[in-house]
Amino acid sequence: MGQTQILLMVLVLILVGVAIMAAVSAFNENLASANLDRVSVNLCDLGMRAQKYYRTPAWLSGGGNSFSGLTATAQGMTILTNRPINDDGAFSILTAGNDTRVTLQGVGVTDGDKDGQNVTMTLDVYPDSMVAAIISR
């Protein structure tokens, strides 16, 4: 083999290595973005369940126009779901409910921005609306 062929093989190996590193990086970014989307969907589902609880009369085991039964405990979370931890992350009631609002939190399973904190979102649930906030990507 001539020097030109060896140099060409080394150059090709370097280019393949760089391409593999770029592909792995893109895959990890997409993984984190997908986890953020799934956490958002789970939180919205829990938010709709909280609004349903709010509208359900107290005599039917609902909130009777109040979120106050949704406490920031495991027992309060069981009103919304029996699986607060799933493949997408862990979900909880961050701020106990009152007459007008409850705050839910979802912590995903990936750390997209490599800051040491997994994907985290909060969702403020009101009787007629919801407001989401991304805490960490």
User: Mean pLDDT, the chain, as a whole number?
Assistant: 91
Q: Is the pLDDT of residue 26 over 80?
A: no
| Residues 118, 108 contacting (CB under 8 angstroms) | yes
For 60-88, write each residue's pLDDT tens digit. Answer: 999 999 999 999 999 999 999 999 999 99
* CA–CA gap between residue 19 and residue 4 (Å, rounded): 23
pLDDT in tens, 84-125: 999 999 999 999 999 999 999 999 998 877 788 899 999 999
The alpha carbon dihedral of 52, 54, 55, 57 has a sign of positive
Question: Encoding tokens for residue 94?
Answer: 């961050």
- Percent of the chain whose pLDDT exceeds 90: 67
pLDDT band at 1 (very low <50, low <70, confident <90, very high): low
